[in-house]
Amino acid sequence: MAQLVQEYLDQIRAEHLANTDGALADYIPELARVDPDALGLSLCLADGYVYECGDSATEFTIQSVSKPFTYALALDRIGRQGVDAKIGVEPSGEAFNEISVDKNTKAPKNPMINAGAVAAVSLIPGVSADHRFDQILEFYSAFAGRRLSVDLDVYASEKATGSRNRAIAYMLQSFGVLDGDPDEILDVYFRQCSINVTSTDLARMATTLARGGVEPRSGRRVTSAAVVQRTLSVMVTCGMYDAAGDWVSAVGMPAKSGVGGGITAALPGQLGIGVYSPLLDAKGHSVRGVEVCRSLSVNLGLHFMSVTRESRSTVRASYDARPGVRVYELHGDLLFAGAEQVLRNIEQECSEFDVAILEVSRVDDIDATARRMLAGMREFLTAAGKKGFLVDPDDTLRLAGVPDSRATVFATLDDALNAADHAVSGPPASDR
């Protein structure tokens, strides 16, 4: 149940905790000073419910994880045409800080490398650096569902050491890509990189993307579905720079990493992931962040190419068929996020019934993760002194490997209700 998912996360974190590969970013002292062992992991479901473990409350700077959000803001404010005129959408196959533009257009190849990110800042309409930055901070905060702040020490260091980014900005100005003063635009870029987040913020921000621009807790629309679609697209192809192909093959989610140690990953329609672990590989990605995402994707069946169908709103109806007997009618495909939603409902409501009947005859398909979770549900209900029955005429949900599953799986709702009557009131006198 909620507990079951929590245990999964704790277990995945524990599996990766001993990995001390990689090195802290050391181009500024603030990043070299953080605890190298920190590992925070957060998962935010489409309804805003968060699972978190480890150092999920530790703040760190967002760094390049900021790039998709500023790109989204530029799209939101000036529209796709205006943005496309200045920033491409092709993977560059280069490092994040490559001093490069497209040979023909002279525009940055994509918004996920520094050149494109600096150009994106210049597209945010504003009369001053403060005006531009205020919009950025407000936009990120709306994605996260809380007011974010800036680490002023990191900002000062970024500003003092950013020669390479300065080279990029002046190059873009010389090609006519940057509107405005390069130093003013860089100032905003350095501030945006220095915004503090936690792994839970990154999970929430990813979920707002996964929900097509709606922040799940407030239900507030932060930006349009079209902006999010474009943003997620460039995250897929360019978010992990020159490791994008490897990432998409192994993990299969639009994502973005930063040298602060954060990774955000969104599974459209389902959930968002945030990880914090500051030891980086040679390409600037969190070593354990990548590994944790890989495990989550495999263990929970999250690869977006294997999730082609709708898996939300799995509970079609729930009602009390008798006092103490609650029926949950499920439909669609049961994958991780759908099963999580079902189990959390049942856990929250379990003081209100003695028997839960899951009616799954309208479930089309169920993956291995969801099947394991339903097996866990029966154990949870038994431990809580309740019963869990399944109505499964097609055996879609046969709980392979679960002892005595036959005794609790029925072909019709009537059969299950009869068994529930026995369970609630004891067997009739004739059976005793």
Q: Of the listed 51, 140, 189, 328, which one is catalytic?
A: 189
Distance between CA atoms of 402 and 406, rounded to whole angstroms? 9
Q: Smallest distance, Å, CB 174 to ligand GLN?
A: 20
Residue type, 130: D
Please identify which residue in 68, 258, 274, 289 interacts with ligand GLN, judged by CB under 6 A. Answer: 258
Among 72, 73, 112, 193, binds ligand GLN (CB under 6 A): 193
Is 259 a residue that touches ligand GLN (CB under 6 A)?
yes
Cα dihedral 180, 191, 45, 251, rounded to 10, equals 80
Should residue 96 be labelled a site residue for ligand GLN when binding is judged by CB under 6 A? yes
**Least distance CB 243 / ligand GLN (angstroms):** 12
158 is in an annotated binding site: yes
Which position among 114, 231, 270, 277 is part of the footprint of ligand GLN (CB under 6 A)? 114
- Min CB(164)–ligand GLN separation in Å: 7
Is 347 annotated for ligand binding? no
Catalytic residue (choose from 154, 259, 355, 409): 259
Q: Is 165 annotated as a binding residue?
A: yes
Query: Is 259 tagged catalytic?
Result: yes
Under 8 Å between Cβ of 120 and 87: yes
Least CB distance to ligand GLN at residue 25 (A):
8
Q: Which of 213, 284, 301, 338 binds ligand GLN (CB under 6 A)?
A: 284
Are the C-beta atoms of 45 and 341 separated by less than 8 Å?
yes
- CA proximity to 334, closest of 303, 356, 301: 301
Given 71, 155, 241, 276, the catalytic residue: 241
Give the chain's radius of gyration (CA, Å). 24
Task: Using the Cα atoms of residue 150, residue 152, residue 158 and residue 160 in order, give the sign of their dihedral.
Answer: positive
Q: Taking CB under 6 A as the rule, does residue 110 contact ligand GLN?
A: no
Shortest reach from residue 114's CB to ligand GLN, in Å: 5
Tally the residues of the chain. 432
- Cβ-closest residue to ligand GLN? 64
Distances from the Cα of 330 to the Cα of 262, 276, 366, 374, angstroms = 36, 35, 11, 12
Query: Is there a catalytic annotation at residue 241?
Result: yes
189 among annotated binding-site residues:
yes
Does position 279 bind ligand GLN by CB under 6 A? no
Could you confirm whether 328 is annotated as catalytic? no
Among 56, 67, 157, 177, which one carries the catalytic annotation? 67
Spot the catalytic one: 64, 92, 257, 311: 64
- Which C-beta is closer to ligand GLN: that of 64 or that of 208? 64
Closest distance to ligand GLN from the beta carbon of 97 (Å): 5
Is residue 386 annotated as part of the catalytic site, yes or no?
no
Q: Is 64 annotated as a binding residue?
A: yes
363: number of Cβ within 10 Å: 22
Residue 64 binds ligand GLN (CB under 6 A): yes
Q: Is 158 in the site for ligand GLN (CB under 6 A)?
A: yes
Q: Does 97 bind ligand GLN (CB under 6 A)?
A: yes
Q: CB of 16: closest distance to ligand GLN in angstroms?
A: 21
Q: Nearer Cβ to ligand GLN, position 98 or 215?
A: 98
Residues 323-362 close enough to bind ligand GLN by CB under 6 A: none
Residue among 42, 63, 122, 297 that touches ligand GLN (CB under 6 A): 63
Q: Which is nearer to ligand GLN, 88 or 258 (CB)?
A: 258
Annotated binding site for substrate: 64, 114, 158, 165, 189, 241, 259
Question: Residues with catalytic annotation?
Answer: 64, 67, 189, 241, 259
Residues that bind ligand GLN (CB under 6 A): 63-64, 96-97, 114, 158, 165, 193, 258-259, 284
